[in-house]
């Protein structure tokens, strides 16, 4: 394997370099010796690291890594036991989680010196600042588990802590990440009034189908059967390595599904297809082929996922609307289905939930809201 130096960006926008170096052959096994290192601040540092590794190999032969620190073991776990078990978009998010949160806390520490007390203090700190602190704790625990598998540790200190309970902030307690029927109508009316037909079509589709954002952005015109009024969801747009956009299968197996669309949404999609074809024809681009993506940039490229998020934020701010996320439109669809009397199983299948508990959690929220409103309805009806 030839030596490779690739650059990547962390969430803070800083660029780092990763090396994959070929050192030679293992005299005992006859196999190639390839090593991976990352976190170099410049390409020159990465090149020097390759040279240093080669010199060390020539002088002393291959020295099996001892994996003294958490970071050293994390890199082995990631390359050997994790990366090939998940989709590219998943391990890209995992890298960010480690580089932004877990490695700053544990990376340079020696494995056998990381105590339960230190793990407890770290998770307590995460709990204060991040809603996903449990995910961070669980990933750190997986690295310690791998150390046990390799015989480097006897116990997992992360599994001996007491999980803290996060205190909700006032705005979090009030926040509901979905719209009522009236709020949804107001939001879509504002998008339409801005003359943003591409965005109006996308947000309408998200709200009236319950699709995930990546599922909608990965759609091609051949995925919609206008005669039967159905759309087939078989792929999703996701963020891969080096911030590239990739098409992959849906989040779960149950995510591959065919669902019905209402007549008004189908009509809006037809109108958007005509407008898309007209606009791109002026640029000499034929968008009438079946494989044409439904939603693209003005250069006819896939839309970045964050672009949709930012567009929705701007619309909400401009019109002073209730703040929800793009995923909140999926939650909105789910809530309105329950209000319309659709069964839990039907909602699960339509939204592509892999676990019915996910559907049940939303159902419980909707029914609780209905119970709270019943008292007001009674008082309003009685009138005194």
Domain with CATH 1.10.150.130 in the chain: 68-167
pLDDT of residue 63: 52
DSSP string of 150-203, one letter each residue: TTS-SS-GGGGSPPP-PPPPHHHHH--SS--HHHHHHHHHHHHHTT-HHHHHHH
Q: Classify domain 181-375 by CATH architecture.
A: Orthogonal Bundle (1.10)
> How many Å apart are CA 348 and CA 292, to the nearest integer?
29
**Positions in the chain short of pLDDT 70:** 1, 11-12, 26-30, 60-66, 167-175, 365-384
Q: In this structure, what token pair is assigned to residue 49? A: 């690291």
What phi and psi values does residue 125 have, to the nearest 5 degrees? Answer: -65, -45
Rounded to an integer, what distance in angstroms lies between the CA atom of residue 190 and that of residue 274? 22
CB 355 within 8 A of CB 328: no
Q: Break the chain down into helix, strand, coil percent, rounded to 5.
A: 55, 15, 30
What pLDDT, on the 0 to 100 scale, is given for residue 17? 85
- Fold type of domain 68-167: DNA polymerase; domain 1 (1.10.150)
Helix (H, G, I), strand (E, B) or coil at 21: strand
What is the rounded end-to-end Cα distance, in angstroms, of the chain? 82
Q: Which CATH architecture has domain 1-64?
A: 2-Layer Sandwich (3.30)
The whole-model pTM stands at: 0.72
In 3D space, the residue among 68, 162, 60, 178 whose CA is nearest the CA of residue 120 turns out to be: 162
Q: Where in the chain is the domain with CATH 3.30.160?
A: 1-64
d(CA 132, CA 219) in angstroms, rounded, equals 30
For residue 9, the SS3 value is strand
């Amino acid at each position: 394997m030839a030596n490779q130096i690739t650059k990547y960006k962390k969430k803070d926008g800083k660029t780092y370099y990763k090396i994959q170096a070929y050192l030679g052959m293992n005299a005992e096994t006859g196999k190639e010796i390839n090593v991976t290192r990352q976190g170099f601040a410049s390409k020159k540092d990465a090149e020097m690291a390759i040279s240093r590794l080669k010199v060390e190999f020539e002088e002393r032969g291959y020295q099996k890594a001892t994996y003294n620190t958490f970071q050293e073991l994390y890199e082995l776990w990631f390359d050997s036991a994790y990366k090939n078990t998940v989709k590219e978009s998943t391990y890209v998010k995992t890298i960010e989680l480690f580089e932004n949160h877990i490695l700053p806390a544990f990376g340079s520490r020696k494995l056998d010196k990381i105590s339960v007390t230190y793990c407890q203090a770290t998770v307590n700190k995460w709990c204060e600042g991040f809603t996903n602190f449990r995910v961070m704790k669980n990933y750190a625990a997986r690295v310690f588990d791998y150390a046990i598998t390799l015989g480097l540790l006897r116990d997992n200190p992360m599994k001996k802590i007491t999980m803290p309970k996060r205190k909700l902030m006032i705005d979090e307690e009030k926040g509901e990440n979905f719209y009522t029927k009236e709020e949804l109508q107001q939001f879509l009316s504002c998008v339409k009034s801005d003359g943003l037909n591409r965005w109006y079509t996308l947000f309408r589709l998200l709200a009236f189908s319950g699709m995930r954002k990546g599922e909608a952005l990965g759609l091609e015109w051949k995925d919609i059967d206008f005669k039967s009024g159905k759309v087939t969801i078989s792929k999703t747009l996701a963020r891969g390595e080096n911030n590239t956009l990739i098409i992959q299968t849906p989040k779960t197996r149950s995510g591959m599904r065919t669902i019905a669309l209402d007549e008004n949404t189908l009509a809006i999609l037809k109108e958007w297809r005509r407008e898309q074809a007209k606009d791109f024809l002026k640029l000499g681009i034929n968008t009438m082929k079946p494989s044409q993506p439904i939603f693209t940039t003005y250069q006819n490229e896939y839309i970045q996922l964050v672009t949709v998020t930012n567009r929705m934020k701007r619309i909400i701010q401009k019109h002073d609307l209730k703040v929800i996320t793009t995923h909140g439109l999926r939650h909105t669809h789910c809530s309105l289905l329950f209000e319309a009397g659709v069964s839990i199983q039907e909602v699960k299948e339509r939204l592509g939930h892999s676990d019915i508990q996910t559907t049940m959690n939303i159902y419980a929220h909707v029914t609780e809201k209905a119970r709270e409103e019943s008292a007001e309805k009674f008082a309003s009806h009685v009138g005194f």
